[in-house]
Amino acid sequence: MWGAITARAAAEMRRPEVGQPPWHTQGSTAQPSAALQLPQHASRQRRSSSLSDHLAPPRRLSGFSPLQVEAHFARVIQRVMPKSYAQALGEVRVTRTFLENFSGDQVRFLARGFSVPGDHPGQASHGYRWPFGPVAIITPFNFPLEIPALQMMGAVYMGNKPLVHSDYRVGLVLDEFVRLLHHCGMGLGEVDVCYGRGHIINSIIKEAKCRSTLFTGSKRVAEKLAEDLHGRVFLEDAGFDWKILGPDVQDFEYVGWQCDQDAYACSGQKCSAQSILFMHDSWAEAGLEKALAQRASTRKLDDLTLGPVLTWTTEQMLAHKDRLLGIPGARLLFGGEALQGHRIPKQYGAIQPTAVFVPLREMLKQEHFEAVTTELFGPFQVVTRYGEDELPLVLEACERMEAHLTAAVVSNDIRFTQRVLGATVNGTTYAGMRARTTGAPQNHWFGPAGDPRAAGIGTPEAIRLVWSSHREIIQDFGPVPEGLQLAQS
């Protein structure tokens, strides 16, 4: 049975030689005062030793690759987050490769600036990427290693002092990672880790006056944080992610497999999960609906290719299904039932992989659009289809959606693909017959678009954007020209 981690299980997973975890455990809002001083230790000024300090851990973390370490982190992830071993291992490998990417002198090059000659002798302007100083990082339960590790290390690379909070249900993974960093040479004062429930962390960050906060999670919490912190936030919040299958049917088995992966891997608990599938008539006529149903039916609890949903109950998910089936023309493609024969606690959700078909024109009606585009963080997707002359309706739907995170245009028809890409805005968009919505590795930007608060993760561009600001220093040492007329104006 998968369930919440117990104190005994946590103790068993710790490395005994490094003692107790560095969590600042809070039981109520009356307790966080001691932790409020943590972020204040960081200054806006870049310490003279910061670059050399931050180069050492990535170099030594090339030792992250031995199989026993890799397997340990994959199992720790599985202990607290119900995903398959392959999904957990993928998270570890992305993190390892990210660390390799910033080994050697690569951290130094993150802070590359520029110089522009001035308009008289002795003057030049220099642009720098400058750290904020004390910052906060709030990360979700679904990627308990990858998201906190990549964002925390990016913040440190740029010279900041981060206060890091991982969802209270999965904090063990971050604890183990920080221990590994310390083992590899990172100073004990580089990072603070705070463990507790959301309202505790909210209180700490509000009172600590962190100069910037990175939040990954739900849209509701993101908007609350933006208000509480007066806009000093970067956000990677909800994603109602779409996939459009173009008119050219090819690589049928592969596309069906990728659709199943995007919708149901990790039980749909990814911000990049495929939320809605727009099928061209040609794919529907080729039998894609049946193929998707067959693939979904092979997912099972035994290997966690299907598992508990942490943020929606079974009743809530089935109620959402029934709400969509109330739309004229809607029908259940597959799934739609609660899982049977398990011991998953009732506070979690457990349903079959589910797809509901909703006619495109009904979906676009004002009275239905909000329901159809509600992100359900579980094994659930909406499916619709369109004809040759209905692509403008599909693009209208994509434009009206509010969460522009990932998207996929599955087509090798260049003109079709360019038309869709030119009319949409999602921050991470895949195009081509192998396009997907999930599985973002470390080698490209991942983040939303269309919002000035949008965060990114994983790449040099993302790190510079989120963890530094531009500073211009204009040097003007003279000489002062002889005979210069110093007239008032």
In the chain, where the domains are located: 7-237+451-473, 241-431
Of 446, 372, 357, 436, the C-alpha closest to 402 is 372
* pLDDT value of position 211: 95
Q: Does domain 241-431 have CATH number 3.90.650.10?
A: no
pLDDT value of residue 5? 34
Name the residue among 156, 159, 148, 270 with its Cα closest to residue 201: 148
Residues in a beta bridge with 188: none
Count of other CB atoms within 10 angstroms of residue 424: 20
Amino acid 26: pLDDT? 34
- pLDDT at position 48: 35
Q: What is the model's pLDDT at position 276?
A: 98
The residues carrying an active-site annotation are 236, 271
Point out the residues of the chain with pLDDT beneath 70: 1-65
3-class SS at 183?
A: helix
Query: Which element (helix H / strand E) includes 399?
Result: helix 391-400
Q: Which fold would CATH assign to domain 7-237+451-473?
A: Aldehyde Dehydrogenase; Chain A, domain 1 (3.40.605)
Q: Who's near 312: CB < 8 A, 6+ residues apart?
A: 349, 376, 377, 378
Question: pLDDT at position 289, please?
Answer: 97
Give the pLDDT of residue 52.
42
> Would you state the structure tokens that stand for residue 204, as one six-digit string?
């700490």
Give the pLDDT of residue 20.
33
Predicted local confidence at residue 60, as pLDDT: 56
Alpha carbon 247 to its chain centroid, in Å, reads 31
User: What pLDDT was estimated at residue 65?
Assistant: 55
The domains spanning 7-237+451-473 and 241-431 adopt the same CATH topology: no
Q: Is residue 316 within 8 Å of 349, Cβ to Cβ?
A: yes
CA 215, CA 434: separation in Å to the nearest integer?
30
Residues 6+ apart with CB under 8 A from 378: 267, 268, 269, 309, 311, 312, 317, 349, 351
